[in-house]
Every structure is written in structure tokens, then in C-alpha cells.
Structure 1
Amino acid sequence: MNDAPERTVIRTCPICESTCGLEITLRGDRVLRTRGDGLDVLSKGFMCPKGASLGELYDDPDWLRGPLIRDGGRLREADWEEAFARTAELFRPILEQDGSTTTAVYMGNPIAHSMAGLLSARAIITTLRTPNLYSASTLDQRSKDLTNGLMFGDRFTLPVPDLDHTEFLVVIGANPLESNGSLATAPDWPRRLRDLRRRGGTLVVIDPVRTRTAEIADEHLRPRVGSDAALLLSMASVLFEEDMVRIGAAEPFARNLPRLREVVRPFTPERLEGFTGIPATDVRALTRAFARAASAVVYGRMGTSTTRFGTVASWMIDILNILTGNLDRRGGAMFPKPASGMLNTRGAPRFGPGIPMGRYHTRVRKAPELFGELPMSCLAEEIDTPGEGRYRGLVLISGNPVVSAPNSRRMANALQQLDAFVAIDPYVTDSTRFAHVIFPALSPLQRSHYDVHFTMWSVRNVANYSPPSIQKRHDQLDEWEIMCRLGGIFDGSMRSTGEIDEAMITSMIRSESRDEHSLIHGRKADEILSLLVPRVGPDRVLDFLLRVGPYGDGFGRVEGGLSLSLLEANPHGIDLGPLRPRLPEVLRTPDGMIDLAPDPILQDLGPLERAIDAGPQPGLVLIGRRQLRSNNSWLHNTPSLMTGRTRSTLRMSPEDAVERGLETGDTAKVESAAGELIALVEVSDRVPPGVVSLPHGWLHEPEEIGMTTARLRPGVNANILADETVVDAPSWNAVFNGIPVVVHGPQRLERTDRLLGESPTTGADESVPR
């Protein structure tokens, strides 16, 4: 292998939402170096520290290369046929005795970063025929999904900030310099924000914490935790009161403006300043500056959507952009048009059936279905609550709910009660350690990649495809092959991988050909299939989606149109241009209009008013925080990202620390209604008095976990403190910010000095330019 020549491959990083282009030099299967791809059409050479870790992931000895099955209470290695046979033994009795309603599927965050997983999960969902689908979306963005659906007709129709052209950017509840952005695919936020300043623009950050993003802002407002919805409502109230509403080009497609005016009228800055902590004069000044800017946009993320009133806050972000004429215009909030298509690029322009919601409910708490999914806050109770319909079987796809779901300890206990628990995951994690069978996915360098998901929210329309950089071994299966084999088990047909794969693509072609607006309307499935030869699996699905998508060649109908072959010939990607106005064709609402005041959202204004009238509650509240060198729980086994000082710390203000007799390096007990934990204290004036902060994604302590590096750098799981019974009412999104907690003084434990060591290497927590 040492004699092999060096080779360079170009691929898109699949770790976070930035989708940066990478230039990777290999000798054989060994990664020698990684740098940002300077010719990438979107990232232009930028990458963060996570992008350099793909070689470590491939070499990680803890990354499973073959299946594991539970035998005598312990997991052991098995071959693929034995693992599939064990899965059939576990699931077939459940399906035959109780039916599919006693099974469930959970899809974690990493599936959104896997083309194979994302395009092939339907092989499991359609064959298992369970209505009990769960995903990480109800842990971080369901409130935003709901407002997108109610206002624009589809959960994924999300207006993103036109970062490269705006003159006034308001960032609320987001820290893109650490997170790299979320629901706004934009590599190199540092450069984009610098460019905003260079062109004379203004950056305002609204966040209780002095984040890295707040430190570079022109103005930083620090509201009370949990008051984002009230603050944004007060800005809308000012727009109406001071006659600054100018909807602009979107006005012909907006309805319920008079109703909106009436419902926001009571939320004046003067009434709310005691609740939000922001003086009314500051709110009015910000609103005036925002309304008068040549172009402006409000962008919000996890800090707004994972709170008790997350849906109201998400709604208000869109409302402020609409009322100031900044929806669907350059420099405002605009709708991407992804090359692989989505609901708002298919079917009849402007009109659609409306969003699916409330068609069925969970057994225990009667939580409603939304977009075909149930809320993760209810999964544990559906497993551990006795009675008819109790979940007996679970398929876990790329998820770690023991770490990511609220009330982690209950989730861990529930997973142990399953009769059949099968996971598709490359590690033995806090969650998969309870599985009966684990099927490992390929390393990112071994699989082809296209960001089907995140191009839907890109700040510029682009398309990038990456073939495998390292070929899989003969004894490995790709994720799509695993899913197809499981599909044949779940429906009892025992069909082969090829048969399931062929059935899925044929179904997609027939559905598309029935659409009179499609580029292949009326064409036969056999003809289209023949034009996709010799591709199989997700590459064949991707080629199909691209060719019938908004830039596609329509299988010969559009000369020079997009196809996977064209992307393969352009490894640095194809630039499809800046965001352009898309109203009204982007809508998919029943009446073809944007509802400015949807009833399900308005129903939550009463509880919000009662919370405002009750005033701020005394005591401490817990919030999460983002970290550049971490992505949920799935990079904590990567040595280069785990260097430097301990990052799983309880940050608290100097005032709160003195009151409790704490200082940096002490350990403290943190209690909530859901649980308690011991955390390492870090005193910091970045957090205001009354607030403590723990990063999410940490744990990795149990002995059974097969993640050596992660276990050497364990942390505490903030979600132990999250109460699964507290949710955002309209969306049932879990609440992870604003959790009431009690922090007790120094614990009688050995003091640790890990935090007191040197800071990480210079630049280690910074984004790395080319």
C-alpha cells in the first residue's frame, strides 16, 4: 500500500449542513491530507475542523465493519446472513401476532447526511407498514416545519436568508459561527458576515448568551431565556402601530392581514419589556431600523424552535420578513429551488392539498401525527407503558435517542424492554448497546453522496455529487442494501435487494409519469428504467430525481439539462445561480395563498399571554450550546476533534457561582423535574445571571459503549434534565431551552483540573480557510 501512487479526490463533506467541498489526497485507502476545495461552487475553499476528520472516521477501529447480534446478553460478531436471519426471528412473530402497529421506526439526524439512507429508508417504511414513525425533526425543528406547512403548504418550503445580498441581518437564537448554520445551507458564515459588514450592512444578534456570533455583531440584545416569541410579537406590533407595514410583491398572495393586526396588537414593547428584559425603546429602534433597511431578514434557529413557544417564534420570524416586504426578494428571505426537486417543484404550481396532521394519535398521551411522524417525546412511554398496542419492535436508523431525546434515563430503560430492537449504525452507542442486532453502515468515504436534504435550504442553488472515494470491501454492505434486505424480511416476501430496489424506483417513475406537469408525463416506466441503466440503488434514484427536477434533461426532452452524468463530469459542482423570486408558484396551499394567521398557531397565544402576565419565574434555567468541533453525539470518537480542554461543562455567571460557592473546576449537582446529574463547572460572563448552559450530545460513559476515544473524554448528557412531558403545544417539539433547574454547591467529589489546562491549539475552534 505504501507503494501506491497518491491520488486526489473531490467530494462534499457529509457531516454538517454547510456541505463544504473537500480536496482529499490519498495513497491507496489511507487519507494523507484534506483541505477545502477552492473550486467548489458554493464553499470556495472553506472547511471547518470537522471536514478534516473523514480519514479518521474511515480508520477508526471502533467503526463496525460487520454486524453484531446479541447472544447470551452480550453483543458478538456475526456474518450478514446470520444477522438477517436473527432479525426475521425477532420481527416475524411480532408482526404475525400483533401486527405492524406494535412496531416503530426512528430516524436520527445522520440519515439526513446520508444519500443512501435518505433515499432508501422507504424500503423499510413501506414494507414494515407501521404508522409509528419518529425522527430527530421533533427534537429540533418541528415548530419550524409546522409554520412552513401552515403558511406555505409544505414542511420543507422554508424561506432562507439571502445572506450574500442582505443589508440588515437579525440572528435570533442561533450561533452560526459555531454551528456552521442550520436550515440555511451556507458554507463559511464568517466570510459571509464579514462581507455583510464590508458592504455597509448591519448585523444584530438577539441571544441571552454572548456567543461568538454575538461578539462580531453591530448590536447584541440579550433577552430573557424563553421570551423570543414575545419579543418578535412586540416587533410586529410596532410595525402595525407605527404604520410601517409594507408587504410588497408578496401582498397579492397573503391573506388574513387584518386578523394578524388584531392578534399582535396587545403585544406592545412597553407591556412586554418586563418579560423579555429588553427596554421598549430598544425594541422600537430595532424595528424601525429593520423596516427602513434597503433589504433585511430575520434568521432564527434552535434557540427559538426548542422552547415552549417555539412555533409562535418560528411564525413570527416569517411574519416580520413578510410585513417589511422582505419575503421572496433579493436580500430578504427567499425560496431555494433544489436540483433534485421537492414538493414545491412538482405538481400544479401554487396549489396543493395542505399538510397532513392529526390523522392518528399516540396511544398514551394522544399526541397527534404531523407530516406522517409522531413526536419523539412520546417514544419511551409507548414502549414502557403496558397495555394493548405497546411497541414491541423498533428499527433505529442512524440515531442515538438515549442522548438526543428528553428524559434520557427513561429512554434507556425503555429500549431494554423491546422484544425486537434492530439498529443500522456504525458504532455501539449509548442507544445501540441495547440492540439485538446492529447493522453497520459504510464509512462516508466509501459511499457516494449528494445533499438531497440540504440543497432544499441552500442560500444559492447548486448541485454537487461525490462518487465513493474508497471502494467497499467484498464483505461489506451499503446502507441501501441493508434496508432493502430488511424490507424483504418485514413484508414476508424475502425478496432480494435487487427486487426491492427495482420496485421502489418503478413506483417513483410511475407516480411521476402520472403528473401532467412532469417532464416525463405519460411515458412508460420500462422506457425510463432502460435509460437509467446500469445504475442501481440511490445513484439510480438520484439520477432520476435530477433528470425530472427543475433543471433536468427530462430524459431527452430538455437539451443540456441536468443529469447525474453531467454532475460526474463536474466534480466541483454546478452553479445553478442565486436565489430568485418564486412566488406564487412555490406555494402548495389549498387556496394558493399564504395564511398570515393560522388557527393552530393563534391558539397558543393565550398560554403565551398568561406566561407574560405571570412574569419571569425565579431561579435558574438551563439552555444548550453549540460547539464547532462537535456534531450532536456522532463525532466524539474522533481524536483530533476531542483535543484541548473539556467542553462538556456547566457554564454559569460569576454572580450565580459566587452565590453557590462554586468556581471553575468544581463539580456541581444540577436537578430538574426530570432528573439530576453532576457537572463540571465553568464560570463565564458569557452567560447572564439566572442562566446555566450545557452542550448537548455528550455521555458515552457505560462500559458497553464501543467508542474508545469518546469514553476517554466523557461528558454529561443535558437531556437527562429535559422533561418529556413539556413540549411546544402546536408542534409537539421537545423543549430543551429554558428548563428550570436547581444547582447545588461543590459536591464531595475529587476536584478535576481538566478544564484548567491549556486552551485548545490556536485556531482549533475556528473555521479553517483553504
Structure 2
Amino acid sequence: MTVEFGTCNLCEAMCGLEFTVEDNAVTSIRGDKKDPLSRGHICPKALSLIDLHADPDRLIKPVRRTDSGWQEIEWDEAYRIVVDGLVSTRRDHGANAVGIYQGNPNVHSLGAMTHGIPFTSMLRTRNRYSATSLDQLPHQLVNHLMYGHQLVLPIPDIDRTDFFLVLGGNPMASNGSMMTVPDFAQRVRDLKARGGTLVVVDPRRTETADVADEHHFVRPGTDALLLLALVNVVLETGATRVADYVDGVSEIASFVRDFAPEAVAPVVGMAAEAITDLATRFAGAESAVAYGRMGVSTQKFGTVCQWAIQVLNILTGNLDRVGGALLTDPAIDLVERKIVGRGHFDKWRSRVRDLPEFAGEFPSSTLVDEMTTPGDGRIRAMAVFSGNPVLSMPGGDTLDQAFADLDFMVSFDFYINETSRHADVILPPTMSLERDHYDLIFSTFAVRNTAKFMPAVLPKKPGAKADWEIFRDLGIRYQAALAQSPVDRVRRRLSPKSVVAEARLRLSPRRTVDALLRSGRKGLSVRALSKSPHGTDLGPLRPGLPAKLRTRDKRIQLVQDVVVGDLPAVHDMLTTASVPADGQLLMIGRRHLRSNNSWMHNTARLTKGKPRHQLLAHPDDLRARGIGDGALVTVTSAAGSVSIEVLASDRMMPGVVSMPHGFGHQRTGVELSVASTVKGPSVNDITDPQQVDAVSANAVLNGIPVTIAAV
């Protein structure tokens, strides 16, 4: 028996773990009390790593879809099929006929980061999509516009703040998200112990609201009005403390003049006095920070919301301030080292709906259009990397059929899921216990600077390959196939970048991380971190502006034309039908601590207990419709209908219903051990891909008008 230490990479929290290993199997998992970031915290998902490793439904070797079912094949044959499918599509229809979708797990895997990116760059397609535009695209766009880089994201200094305002986020369930904050519950207790305040604004009384000092209901989709009213109060009362590298304060005052608390209150559903009081206390606190997450990003005015949150922090002097919002200093600084680019916006547009790209990706809501609309440039083949867009994208039913109609598809996944079931070939990578890990992305978003390298805890299963090995082997074969093509236009598209990408593929993730550590911080290397298995503490967040700005002039421009151009539409909510029509309710999503988006429903450890799939609705709304608690109801939106059990809950704001994200596993056609018994339809069967944020084109997943009726 041995004890190993490492990191959970299932979500953004980077919790330190202690593994007990016997006979090449993990027999127990505990929180690592010596981890400087998570401090012993652990959630149920981490415990399920044992189940994921032993899951009989997990794919180990490639499988090919045949008329008689799935057939296991050898890696060389799988590579040949994939290369032939991708190259022939590119040869016959052009590079843009190949589409790419990348799911969240890619940024949680070291090998996918170091080797997946070079491989996808070889495909040379503009039809790139990811979970970014189903999630945090407004964050990244605002970062790019205001601070000069998509990853320059000020992080709440929760460990030292006096006033923490959370809008549309639930860190008690997520342990952060665009703010890596494990052990959130203890951090809240510490906040209260030093006399601080936690305020939550959300249309559902969430798990985070349960531990807050205050909770305020807000009508879904109106958060932009509330935030602009908070900014209005700060400016009207003169409670501003603005740094000398910030421009545009007077212009902001003119933009928010009409958004007084009294004007927005009837629409927002929060009393004008409460709005004024919240803004006054926030501005008057010794230190304060506002944080908004999925609830404010995935709505009609998501970009305006994220911009207004930054403006509120800046105007009150809480940007780059201890206890406010600070930038991180990770050991491998993706921004400083230019490993991740600044990003760009609207350099080109999608073929069908004319939607803008961001950082080379189109909004995921238009993927189905590009797959189904005839014409030059239509997507005919897809490569899906660790994603399940049929469940996670709006318009799931239509997208499901679109995947079925492709000429070719490859999926990189160790499960046959609702999306991968359409693939011609599935290439399964090893799971997290079987591969080295260093967290490149979420160290950039952490509430404390730390560094940790985790060697693989267990050996690979016989015949298995790590994701970086798959990308390496496939990339080399793909380049060779292109080089042999007699078609001149294909050869011309081979670029020096592709040559560099192939060279990067031959370097292991461990060696890549070691080189980055050695060239970044004195005294750090993989070997040095291996001597500190609990992780190395690099200290609290520190002020560093304006030096850390990536804007050309090292200044912050509050007025961003692309954002303020959407303010008239926000203003229209004050006078138009912002409240649903008679009989309509507003639907929002929700997440669970024992779930992870559209996967991890195949482990009994996480799915046991009370059902979590129901539609939550306020008792008054059910009584008004003659619907009993527990009844089967039909939920209908402009995009479609689903049937689901309803659960009466006074935790919901009247007029609002909530459906969880990520359910709907009945589609797979494969009898899985657990997931086939998990109830619940997919919420995205009734979300509309035509509805997007007007600025960023991020998907609208919250504030959806619906009707409910007993079946």
C-alpha cells in the first residue's frame, strides 16, 4: 500500500487529494489537508474517480460503428479511418467543411492542452466551436475589450474582502467557476468571522444563498438593469474611487442616467430602496467585489452584465485592491508568456447567420445551421473533443439529427454518449488517474497563487493511450497524408505553423511543463514540484495594475462601443413587455454538486439519493394552474416541449421555474450501468439556438419564456 498526492481535475476547483493505492487500484480518496489552496476540502465528484476508473462502460480501445453495433478495433486502424475521413473531406470540399467542437474537459486535461491545440490547428478550419459560447464567452470578450487579453480576468480576493456580491453564481455547488475557489463554505465562514458580508442575487434561493447574509430575488434576464442601477447610484452619490489609468467615467454617467433604482425596480422585481441600499453599502465597504457567473452570462444581455460588473468594481476603487478584484501570478503565466493569444472579435462571420467570431471560434448556437444549410462551406465532417453538444447546446433534437446526417465524424471520448453515438470512430483517452497533470488554465483564475504537478497515480490499462499520445499519433499521420495529396490547394495550406505544431506533438506534456516552469520562475521545475507533492504556495493575490494590463496604452477604457451599443435594447426592457405574458413563466437552469454538466451520471455514488431531475416551481404558480406537487407536466417554449415531473419549491422566485442542465441520457441507444436509469429530459430540447446575446452571440440558456401544464 502506498499513499499518493495529486489534484482533482473534474471541475475548476483544483482540490488536492490523497490517494491510497493497493495492487494498482485506488482504494480510498481523501482531501489533502496540506494543499495550500483547497486545505483538505473534497466534494463527492472527487470520490467518484474510483468509480470512473473501474467503470465497465468506459472505453479503453477505439471502437467503430457498424451496422451490427460497436466493434473494438486496433489503434492503427482507427487512426487510418480518422485520417482518411478528415483528409478526404478537406480534399473534396475544403478545410472549412470539417467542423471542430471542444467540450469543457479539454481545459481540465494537461495533454489536451499541450497536444490537442497543435492538432486542431493542423485542420485549418474556421468552423471551430466550443463550450466557451455556452458558458463564459461574455467574460472573455469583456476581458479582451477592457484589459487587452481574453484571460486577464480580475479574480475576487475572497480571503480578504469585506463585502462579496454574487450575482447568478452558486459557488457552494461549483466551487467557483471563472474563480477557482475550493472550500468555499469555509471561506464564507472566515468572511463572516472578520465581520464581512455575503450578498447573493439570484431567482432561486441556491445553496450559496443559504450561507449568505442576504438573498435577493431577481427576475431572470433583467440583471443588466439591476447592475446599471447599482452603477447609477454609485455615480449619483459620488461614491467613486477611480484609478488614474481609467478613462470614460463621465461618459458612463450619461449612459446610466435613465437606470435609476425607481425605474428598474418594477421590472427587476427588487425594491428600489433595496437596490439603493445595496449599492451604497457596496461602495462604502472598506473592500468589496462583485462576481457574476452563468446566471448573468447565459442570458440576452450577458455581455452587458459582465461589463457592468467590471465597471462597478472599477468605479468603487475595488479593482486591483486587496479584498477587491486582483489578477493572479501563476507559475506558468499564459498571458505574460503569450502562450494564449489576446483574442480578437468579429474578424470574420459565420456563413449562415452572420454571427461574429471570437478568438477564432464561432458561437456554438449556430453550429446546427452550418451543418444543415446547403452551400459551399457546409460542415460535412465533425471532430468532437470531449464534449456532448447534443445535451449541452440549445436545440438538442435538431442537432442530434444533424450529427446523424454527417458524412463523417470522429469523437474523442471514453463514453458512448448522446453525441459520440453518431461517430464513425470513437478514440478513448485514459482518465485522470492514469495521466500526469498540471493545471495550466485554472491556476490563472485561482483565489491564491499555487503550483502543483501530479504524476499519474495508476498505470494505463492495457491497450489504452493518453490523450496526448492520441493527438501526437493522429497529428503526425494527418500531416503525412496531406503532404502526399496531389491537390495543390491542400499543399498550399500547409504552413510553418503546422510544422511547429508537429514538433510540439513529439514533446511529452511533462517535458513541456518542465520547460515552461524552468523558463518562468526561478527554482521551479517538475522535479522541484515533485518534492512538494501537496503543492507549492506562491502567496496571495497582489495588486499589479496598470503594469499587468495588455491594452496598447496600459489604460482601461470604460466605454466600449460594442457593449454600450446594446444599452438602448436594455433600456427598452423598462417600457416593453419584459415581464412574461399571461400564463408564461421564466425558465432558468441549475447545476448540482453531484453532477458535472452532461456527464458523470454513470456512477452510483453520485446518482444515488433523492431525484434531482425535476422542474422546480413556486407553489403559488402550481396552484394557479391546478397542478399538484409531483405531477407530470409539459413544459413548452418557442423551441419545443418536454415532459417532466414538477416539484413545488418556495426556493423559487414566483413566476420562475428551474430545470437542471445535462440530463437526457435516454438517447444513447446503449444500455449503460447507471445513466440509463437517470430520469429527466434535456433542458436544451426547449432552448432556442436562434436566441443569443446580441453582443457576443453567447447562447441564451436563462430567462426563457415557457408555459407548463399537467399532462
Matches within 5 A, 1:350-499: 355-493=343-481
Please tell me whether residue 262 in structure 1 is matched to residue 254 in structure 2. Answer: yes
TM-score (norm 2): 0.95
Counterpart-to-counterpart distance in 2, 1:391 and 1:355: 24
**Preserved CA contact (<8 Å) 1:113 1:451:** yes
Task: Read off the aligned partner of 2:353 and give its amino acid letter.
Answer: R
726, 738, 755: which is aligned to 2:691? Answer: 726
By how many angstroms is 1:492 displaced? 3.7
Counterpart-to-counterpart distance in 1, 2:154 and 2:645: 40
**Preserved CA contact (<8 Å) 1:421 1:437:** yes
Q: Secondary structure at the match of 2:509?
A: helix
Counterpart-to-counterpart distance in 1, 2:686 and 2:247: 41
CA deviations 1:240-284 (Å, max 9, x no partner) are: 11111112xxx2221122211111111111111111111111111
Q: Secondary structure at the match of 2:56?
A: coil
508, 532, 543: which is aligned to 1:537? Answer: 508
Is the deviation greater in 610-619 or in 464-473?
A: 610-619
Please tell me whether residue 637 in structure 1 is matched to residue 582 in structure 2. Answer: no
Partner of 2:305: 313
TM-score (norm 1): 0.88
Please tell me whether residue 286 in structure 1 is matched to residue 278 in structure 2. Answer: yes
Q: Secondary structure at the match of 1:134?
A: strand
Matches within 5 A, 1:209-224: 209-224=204-219
Partner of 1:624: 589
Q: Secondary structure at the match of 1:613?
A: coil
**Preserved CA contact (<8 Å) 1:128 1:491:** no
Partner of 2:6: 11
By how many angstroms is 1:219 displaced? 1.5
**Preserved CA contact (<8 Å) 2:118 2:501:** no
Please tell me whether residue 37 in structure 1 is matched to residue 42 in structure 2. Answer: no
Q: Structure 2 unaligned segments of length 5 or more: list them.
A: 484-495
Partner of 2:489: none
Counterpart-to-counterpart distance in 2, 1:668 and 1:595: 49
Partner of 1:106: 101
Q: Secondary structure at the match of 1:144?
A: helix
524, 530, 534: which is aligned to 1:572? Answer: 534
**Preserved CA contact (<8 Å) 2:168 2:201:** yes
Partner of 2:552: 590
By how many angstroms is 1:398 displaced? 0.3
Partner of 1:231: 226
Counterpart-to-counterpart distance in 2, 1:145 and 1:504: 25
Partner of 2:113: 118
Partner of 1:515: none
**Preserved CA contact (<8 Å) 2:475 2:502:** no
Partner of 1:302: 294
Task: Read off the aligned partner of 1:229 and give its amino acid letter.
Answer: A
CA deviations 1:26-72 (Å, max 9, x no partner) are: 21122211110111111111101111111111000001011011222
Q: Structure 1 unaligned segments of length 5 or more: list them.
A: 1-5, 496-502, 511-528, 554-560, 748-770
**Preserved CA contact (<8 Å) 1:226 1:737:** yes
Task: Read off the aligned partner of 1:322 and give its amino acid letter.
Answer: I
**Preserved CA contact (<8 Å) 1:622 1:739:** yes
By how many angstroms is 1:386 displaced? 1.3
Partner of 1:757: none
Partner of 2:488: none
Q: Secondary structure at the match of 1:121?
A: helix
**Preserved CA contact (<8 Å) 1:353 1:588:** no
Task: Read off the aligned partner of 1:701 and give its amino acid letter.
Answer: Q
Q: Secondary structure at the match of 1:612?
A: coil
CA deviations 1:530-561 (Å, max 9, x no partner) are: xx9xx942112211222233xx23xxxxxxx2
Partner of 2:662: 697
By how many angstroms is 1:354 displaced? 6.3
Q: Secondary structure at the match of 1:340?
A: coil
Please tell me whether residue 157 in structure 1 is matched to residue 152 in structure 2. Answer: yes
Is the deviation greater in 607-616 or in 571-580?
A: 607-616
Q: Secondary structure at the match of 1:157?
A: coil
The alignment's C-alpha RMSD in Å is 2.0
Counterpart-to-counterpart distance in 1, 2:53 and 2:342: 43
**Preserved CA contact (<8 Å) 1:180 1:628:** no
Inter-CA distance 462–353: structure 2 relative to 1 (3 Å threshold): closer
Partner of 1:758: none
**Preserved CA contact (<8 Å) 2:476 2:502:** no
Task: Read off the aligned partner of 1:32 and give its amino acid letter.
Answer: T
Please tell me whether residue 710 in structure 1 is matched to residue 675 in structure 2. Answer: yes
Matches within 5 A, 1:54-69: 54-69=49-64
Q: Secondary structure at the match of 2:58?
A: coil
Task: Read off the aligned partner of 2:620 and give its amino acid letter.
Answer: E
CA deviations 1:171-211 (Å, max 9, x no partner) are: 11011111221111111000000100000001111111111
By how many angstroms is 1:74 displaced? 3.1
Partner of 1:767: none
Inter-CA distance 538–505: structure 2 relative to 1 (3 Å threshold): farther
Counterpart-to-counterpart distance in 1, 2:602 and 2:56: 10
Matches within 5 A, 1:114-263: 114-247=109-242, 251-263=243-255
**Preserved CA contact (<8 Å) 2:417 2:668:** no
Counterpart-to-counterpart distance in 2, 1:224 and 1:455: 34
Q: Secondary structure at the match of 2:70?
A: strand
Partner of 1:688: 653
Q: Secondary structure at the match of 2:454?
A: coil
CA deviations 1:579-608 (Å, max 9, x no partner) are: 001101211112221111101101110111
Counterpart-to-counterpart distance in 2, 1:654 and 1:199: 38
Task: Read off the aligned partner of 1:450 and give its amino acid letter.
Answer: Y
Counterpart-to-counterpart distance in 2, 1:548 and 1:256: 39
Task: Read off the aligned partner of 1:33 and give its amino acid letter.
Answer: S
Q: Secondary structure at the match of 1:588?
A: coil
Counterpart-to-counterpart distance in 2, 1:704 and 1:87: 23
Task: Read off the aligned partner of 2:233 and give its amino acid letter.
Answer: V
By how many angstroms is 1:507 displaced? 4.1
Q: Secondary structure at the match of 1:41?
A: coil
Q: Secondary structure at the match of 2:575?
A: helix
Counterpart-to-counterpart distance in 1, 2:441 and 2:40: 22
CA deviations 1:409-439 (Å, max 9, x no partner) are: 0110110111110010000000000000000
Task: Read off the aligned partner of 2:166 and give its amino acid letter.
Answer: V
Partner of 1:760: none
Counterpart-to-counterpart distance in 2, 1:345 and 1:334: 19
**Preserved CA contact (<8 Å) 1:353 1:589:** no
Counterpart-to-counterpart distance in 2, 1:11 and 1:741: 45
**Preserved CA contact (<8 Å) 2:150 2:342:** no
Q: Secondary structure at the match of 2:379?
A: coil
Counterpart-to-counterpart distance in 2, 1:109 and 1:132: 18
By how many angstroms is 1:662 displaced? 1.9
Partner of 2:634: 669
Counterpart-to-counterpart distance in 1, 2:638 and 2:71: 38
CA deviations 1:666-708 (Å, max 9, x no partner) are: 1100111111100111111010211110010111102523532
Counterpart-to-counterpart distance in 1, 2:461 and 2:55: 16
By how many angstroms is 1:355 displaced? 4.1
CA deviations 1:283-320 (Å, max 9, x no partner) are: 11111111111100011100110010010110111111
